[in-house]
Amino acid sequence: MTESRLSTLRKILESLNSKGGFHASIIAGEDGLVLAEASKELDKNLMAAMAGLSHSTADRVKDQIGLGDVENVIIETNGGVMVFRGIYLPTNKLILAVIMSSKKTSRLRDAANVLLHKDRRYEVIIDEAVGEIIKTFST
């Protein structure tokens, strides 16, 4: 991957984190290897591995049930929300993984995070980032 494309992906993830209040975000391959990340505190390799595992498990489940491609795997915990979003490119599949922690120090930020969690506003923010990622790979 070119340095220019990698820089663009990092900027997309940093913007995603800022807009969505995400604690961390990565783009990983189906194999669980990191392509790009925007996280200072989490283990990006572990996050990428979990993204690959979550999506492959969901793919097996959807195959057994006969559903279409997996778009999102969402894990909600009492400490936050993790979203793993499939990105289908012509030559391969990537996974965008984001973590939104509900353990913030600011009460105002907590209220905003609760709204983002409960009404799923983060999905629009993720959709925008996915569009930008696809555009980056199409150039």
d(CA 43, CA 79): 17
pLDDT digits 0-9 by tens, 93-138: 899 999 887 654 444 455 555 555 556 778 889 999 999 999 999 8
The domain in which residue 103 lies consists of: 3-138
CATH number of domain containing 25: 3.30.450.30
For residue 73, what are its two tokens? 């795997």
Quote the number of domains for the chain.
Answer: 1
pLDDT digits 0-9 by tens, 19-73: 988 889 999 988 888 999 998 778 888 888 888 888 888 888 888 998 887 778 8
Across the strands, what pairs with 23? none
Look up residue 40 and give its DSSP letter: S
pTM of the model: 0.82
